[in-house]
Amino acid sequence: MQYVILAPWIIHSTWLFVANDAKERDVSYFLMLGVVLWRIIHNQIWISLSRYRTAKGNGRILDRGLEFEQVDRENNWDDQILFNALLFYTGSRHLPGAQKLPLWRPHGVLLSIVLHAGPVEFLYYWFHRALHHHYLYSRYHSHHHSSIVTQPITSVIHPFAEHMVYSALFFIPILATILTRTISMASFAGYVTYIDFMNNMGHCNFELIPNWLFSLFPPLKYFMYTPSYHSLHHTQFRTNYSLFMPIYDYIYETMDKSSDALYETALKREEETPDVLHLTHLTTPESIYHLPLGFASLASLPHTSKWYLWLMWPVTLWSMILTWIYGRTFVVERQRFDNLRVQTWVIPKYNLQYYLQWQNEAINSLIEEAIIQAEGKGVKVLCLGLLNQASLLFLFPFTFKVNYLSSNSLLS
């Protein structure tokens, strides 16, 4: 419901776009909604990717899982997008030079790069160090550091006072390009996307930057941080303060000495082998959003059909096509209880398909393939749950733990 606060600007920009002729239209004002939607989608992609990769285990930095308190605390990650959207819409209407932006101006792109690498990174570094002073840390920044194990949207979980300062810093390149009349949609949307991308990447808890990139261009390690680099800041607290460019940590001698070692270790890490595996399946096409890889607000509640999910039918249809083409089980969740490692795998089939006789062979093949794969990984206990089938249980030397049976899974 919080998105209602953008309704006046959305209605106004749409009305001006429709009512005015082509020469008078402010296309950039109308496209602000597209920038907002893109930011939401971009963040959600990172959330899903991070949960998938950390569940698999390859490249994972920290083993500790996310706690329910953290998921709840970080569930309002889109609030900062709404706050920024209000600033974007207001600036687009009232700042001279912020109207009718062209798609591309190379000078504005170059100016944004220079100003970010200089003033933005420099000011952020010292502001961040100030936030770790006891007075400010206990009153503000400790909220962000409540998350030792990070996920992409941990990057934007801050008190409102911090958000105001961060917005002021990130608006330096945008305001400079407006004042110099070099701003364009490319420089504006590109810079916002860069901020989101680097924020999400730095908090994703898995290493994805290949080492050949730094071998090819060694100075790059001082101008682009890695997820493992920033993870050390959340575990050590007094090192690696830089925003996205570690060069300021290098200059002021706050770079953690174990940064390179952790990077290499995380990069070489292979997929995790679970002790216990739970095999489940999708129910309805919309159930893809209720998985841990989907929306936390839906995954935390019993599965019910929501009206707004009908608006996402293009994405739902795409996911159905993808599961049909991919046609293999995939990891959706991991848990750790002391030394016991547990994973949940999903069979990409829906409830309806379990009633169709012509789907029996395909479903049985997927289950058999998953069991063989689990055996190869050394899984000790396999829970079939709704997929329990007596005809398969005696084919493989497992100790099975069957949660429950269901008539829709007894296939001939």
* Digit-coded pLDDT (tens) for 205-246: 999 999 999 999 999 999 999 999 999 999 999 999 999 999
Structural domain count, the chain: 2
Give me the half-sphere count of Cα atoms (radius 13 Å) on the Cβ side of residue 387.
31
Proportion of the chain above pLDDT 70, given as a percent: 93
Q: What is the pLDDT of residue 385?
A: 65
In terms of domains, do 119 and 155 share one? yes
In terms of domains, do 91 and 231 share one? yes
Give me the half-sphere count of Cα atoms (radius 13 Å) on the Cβ side of residue 373.
16
Residue 114: C-alpha distances to residues 101, 109, 149, 176, 186 (Å): 21, 9, 32, 11, 16
In terms of domains, do 49 and 122 share one? yes
In terms of domains, do 263 and 280 share one? no
pLDDT (tens digit, 9 = 90+) per residue, 284-340? 999 999 999 998 888 877 888 888 888 888 889 988 888 887 788 999 999 888 889
Please say whether the beta carbons of 382 and 391 come within 8 A.
no
In terms of domains, do 19 and 81 share one? yes
In terms of domains, do 324 and 184 share one? no
Q: Look at residues 252, 268, 284 and tell me which one is the last residue of a structural domain.
A: 268
Q: Look at residues 220, 245, 268 and tell me which one is the last residue of a structural domain.
A: 268
In terms of domains, do 225 and 130 share one? yes
Q: Look at residues 213, 237, 268 and tell me which one is the last residue of a structural domain.
A: 268
In terms of domains, do 118 and 193 share one? yes
- Residue 339 DSSP code: T
Q: What is the pLDDT confidence band of residue 406, given thresholds at 50, 70 and 90?
A: very low
- Residue 66 DSSP code: P
pLDDT (tens digit, 9 = 90+) per residue, 4-56? 999 999 999 999 999 999 889 999 999 999 999 999 999 999 999 999 999 99
What is the residue range of 376's domain? 276-409
In terms of domains, do 239 and 334 share one? no
In terms of domains, do 120 and 262 share one? yes
In terms of domains, do 310 and 230 share one? no
In terms of domains, do 364 and 258 share one? no
Residue 395: C-alpha distances to residues 345, 398, 405 (Å): 20, 9, 19
Residue 304: C-alpha distances to residues 284, 289, 307, 311, 317 (Å): 10, 11, 10, 15, 18
